[in-house]
């Protein structure tokens, strides 16, 4: 098994996907629920986005030029 590292990391991916499926859309909230670091959640979210399992929408919030990332599952 040469891909053993990927296998060990997959439970974290499932925890993040489960949090997203429960309606949690902010990385900080996902981090609290899954008890993973925000950096690790960010990496997992980017990985899931590259695999096209989730979409990342960037929306502007109010009149201030701030952007927030909102996550959503792809439903077919």
pLDDT in tens, 22-65: 988 888 899 999 999 999 999 999 898 888 888 887 665 555 55
Range of the domain at 67: 4-73
DSSP code per residue over 18-67: HHHHTT---HHHHHHHHT--HHHHHHHHHHHHHTTSEEEEEEEETTTTEE
Query: Count of domains in the chain?
Result: 1
Buried b or exposed e, range 18-31, using 16+ CB within 10 angstroms: ebbeeebeebeebb
- pLDDT value, residue 16: 92
The whole-angstrom separation of Cα 48 and Cα 45 is: 5
Size of the chain in residues: 76
- pLDDT value, residue 65: 52
Section 9-31 average pLDDT: 87
Record the pTM: 0.66
- pLDDT value, residue 43: 92
- pLDDT value, residue 9: 55
Question: CATH number, domain at 17?
Answer: 1.10.10.10
């Amino acid at each position: 098994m040469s891909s053993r590292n990927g296998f060990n990391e997959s439970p974290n991916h499932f925890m993040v996907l489960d949090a997203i499926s429960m309606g949690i859309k902010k990385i900080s909230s996902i981090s609290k629920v899954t008890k993973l670091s925000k950096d690790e959640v960010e990496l997992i979210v980017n990985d899931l986005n590259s695999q096209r399992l989730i979409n990342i929408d960037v929306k502007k919030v109010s009149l201030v030029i701030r952007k927030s990332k909102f996550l959503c599952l792809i439903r077919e």
